[in-house]
Amino acid sequence: MSKPLAIVTGGGRGIGRGIVIELSRTHHVIATYRGNREAAQSLADEVGCEITQSDISSAEDRAALIDLARERSPHLDLLVNNAGIAPRERADILDAREEIFDEVLGTNLKGPYFLTQMAARWMKDSGRGRIAFVTSISSFTASVNRGEYCISKAGLSMAVALFASRLAEHGVKVFEIQPGIIRTDMIAKVEQIYEEKIANGLLPQRRMGEAVDVAKAVRAVADGLLDYSTGQVLHVDGGFHLRSL
């Protein structure tokens, strides 16, 4: 294979789809999906990426994904940990259920943590590679009606610091891409509320983000423009993280 190899988890829809469209210009991309094959297939038809069904919360599926990637190339150039879910029910932390906690943590934190462990061993042997984690402003913003989500993303931010520290000497760079409010299916139910908040000044840059905004940050990582950095947080949030008085 002449093109560099990239894996993008949850690549069929939303932010992941934007990332796959961008990366497919230069990389052979393996995009994973969980249940929505139709969306993934239409993306493959559009940009020529490879798609595979793989549930990030399943150890078996993660191992099969890495096996598939190893069949494609001796090196993994880029792993983008994008797949993630919001809790299927929003509940106050005083009422929230353990089952939902396990579901969200399994997909948003345990899955990418252990997929990265496998990818990292491979990259360490090659002496190169780049890893991007898609976290969220929820890593540092408390939303008491989706505590599991916030905890999963805060944990993922620490995973970035851990893998960045561990892999630096092996030439592997690790980045945190921290989106704010991005227009996808995930926020569809609350899109109107967010639009109103943005119009009223929630974000210094007064517009909602789009998948392509996040894809551009991944492009910078993929092209090595940030190679004397690691563990870096790239805020893609219209300035949400800024404090002002």
Ligand X SMILES: NC(=O)c1ccc[n+]([C@@H]2O[C@H](COP(=O)([O-])OP(=O)(O)OC[C@H]3O[C@@H](n4cnc5c(N)ncnc54)[C@H](OP(=O)(O)O)[C@@H]3O)[C@@H](O)[C@H]2O)c1
Instruction: Evaluate whether 16 touches 10 at the Cβ level (below 8 Å).
Output: yes
Find the binder of ligand X among 57, 116, 139, 230 (CB under 6 A). 57
Tell me the closest approach of the beta carbon of residue 209 to ligand X, in angstroms. 7
What's at 40, amino acid-wise?
A: A
Q: Count of alpha carbons within 13 Å of 217, Cβ hemisphere only? A: 27
Q: In which residue are the tokens 């997929």 written?
A: 115
Q: Kindly state whether residue 63 participates in binding ligand X, applying the rule CB under 6 A.
A: no
Q: Which is nearer to ligand X, 86 or 222 (CB)?
A: 86
Tell me the closest approach of the beta carbon of residue 141 to ligand X, in angstroms. 10
Return the number of other C-beta atoms located less than 10 Å from residue 114's C-beta.
Answer: 15
Residues 9-28 that bind ligand X (CB under 6 A): 9-10, 12-16
Structure tokens at 170: 């092996």
Residues 123-152 that bind ligand X (CB under 6 A): 134, 136
Q: Kindly state whether residue 93 participates in binding ligand X, applying the rule CB under 6 A.
A: no
Among 113, 149, 194, 228, the active-site one is 149
Find the binder of ligand X among 22, 55, 176, 213 (CB under 6 A). 55
Q: Kindly state whether residue 82 participates in binding ligand X, applying the rule CB under 6 A.
A: yes
The question of whether 113 is a catalytic residue gets the answer no
Q: What are all long-range contacts of 158-164, with beta carbons under 8 Å and residues at least 24 apart?
A: 159/109, 159/112, 159/113, 159/116, 159/133, 160/133, 160/135, 160/231, 160/233, 161/231, 163/116, 163/120, 163/131, 164/230, 164/231
Q: Which is nearer to ligand X, 144 or 168 (CB)?
A: 144
Q: Kindly state whether residue 230 participates in binding ligand X, applying the rule CB under 6 A.
A: no
Q: Count of alpha carbons within 13 Å of 154, Cβ hemisphere only? A: 11
For ligand X, the binding residues (CB under 6 A) are 9-10, 12-16, 32-36, 39, 54-57, 82-85, 107, 134, 136, 179, 181-182, 184-187
Which residues belong to the active site?
149
